[in-house]
């Protein structure tokens, strides 16, 4: 049953991301133009990340900081106010900087929902328990990424990713997608959503 659900998850990923590329093309185009004309540097930020089965791949995002960040940077989601571009905060707040990752999803390196992919240098310090996150494709959407990227520790974030993998189901993915949209639009606390969902599952 899990294998069937994983196959359905992959089909949903392909269909949804293909639709996003087509329907969202104007957003991609406008964002690319704004990134280019408001700061110096490339339109996209491409960085090595670790995905399923610890495979290293290149993750794509719209650039939100000036210049070209170092490939080996170890910070997760730090915000350097002096380097954020004119539209950088806006792109981050509404998740627009993550849109190019639909290409990663179509290529099979990522999924719409999953644990957020770490940098190779971060994986060196992972415990066997934390390495469970590599049992599934990393995701564009994640409760830990939306809620925890600025408010909780790295270990708490990884713990949320592990819990996601251990309790995964298609229904959980649908809940996360809905709640992530709700968080972006309404600024609701995503951690409360996670706790609510976990409580329902445990019951």
What does the pLDDT read at residue 84?
A: 85
As to burial, measured by CB atoms within 10 angstroms (0-12 exposed, 13-18 middle, 19+ buried), residue 89 is middle
User: What is the pLDDT confidence band of residue 89, given thresholds at 50, 70 and 90?
Assistant: confident
Banded pLDDT at 29 (limits 50, 70, 90): very high
User: 152 is written with which tokens?
Assistant: 């909780």
Look at residue 136 and give its three-state secondary structure.
coil
167-201: per-residue pLDDT in tens?
999 999 999 998 888 776 765 544 444 444 444 44
Q: What is the pLDDT of residue 189?
A: 47
Secondary structure letter of residue 65 according to DSSP: B
Give pLDDT, residue 76.
41
- Phi then psi dihedrals of residue 186, to 5 deg: -115, -5
Read off the pLDDT of each residue in 112-125 and give the average, rounded to a whole number: 94
Residue 62: what are its φ and ψ, rounded to 5°?
-70, 140
What is the average per-residue pLDDT within 89-110? 93
Residue whose structure tokens are 């445990």: 202
Mean pLDDT of 83-98: 87
Tokens for 24, please give them.
């969202």
138 CB-contact burial (10 Å; exposed 0-12 / middle 13-18 / buried 19+):
buried
Q: Tokens 């170890």 correspond to what residue?
A: 74
Question: For residue 184, which phi and psi values (nearest 5 degrees)?
Answer: -65, -45
pLDDT tops 80 at residue 149? no
CB 31 within 8 A of CB 21: no
Burial of 199 (0-12, 13-18, 19+ CB in 10 A): exposed
Residue 23 has which token pair? 């329907």
Question: CB 202: neighbour CB atoms within 10 A?
Answer: 7
- Its pTM stands at 0.82
Is the pLDDT higher at 182 or at 110?
Answer: 110
Judge contact between 24 and 62, C-beta under 8 A.
no
The arithmetic mean of pLDDT across residues 112-138, rounded, is 95
Q: Which residues contact 76 (CB under 8 A, 6 or more apart)?
A: 122, 149, 154, 157
pLDDT at 45: 94
Question: Cβ contacts of residue 151 below 8 Å, gap of 6+?
Answer: 191
């Amino acid at each position: 049953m899990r294998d069937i659900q994983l196959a359905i998850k992959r089909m949903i990923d392909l269909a949804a991301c293909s639709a996003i590329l087509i329907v969202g093309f104007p957003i991609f185009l406008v964002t690319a133009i704004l990134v280019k004309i408001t700061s110096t540097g490339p339109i996209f930020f491409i960085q090595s990340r670790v995905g399923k089965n610890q495979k290293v791949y290149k993750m794509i995002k719209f650039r939100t900081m000036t210049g070209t960040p170092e490939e080996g940077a170890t910070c997760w989601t730090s915000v350097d106010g002096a380097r954020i571009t004119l539209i950088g905060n806006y792109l981050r707040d509404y998740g627009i900087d993550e849109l190019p990752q639909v290409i990663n999803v179509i290529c099979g390196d990522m999924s719409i929902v999953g644990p957020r992919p770490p940098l190779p240098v971060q994986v060196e310090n992972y415990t066997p328990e934390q390495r469970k996150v590599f049992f599934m494709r990393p995701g564009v959407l994640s409760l830990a990424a939306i809620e925890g990227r600025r408010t909780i520790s790295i270990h708490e974030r990884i713990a949320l990713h592990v819990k996601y993998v251990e309790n995964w189901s298609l229904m959980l993915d649908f809940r996360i997608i809905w709640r992530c949209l709700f968080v972006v639009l309404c600024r609701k606390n995503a951690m409360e959503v996670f706790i609510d969902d976990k409580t329902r599952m445990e019951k």
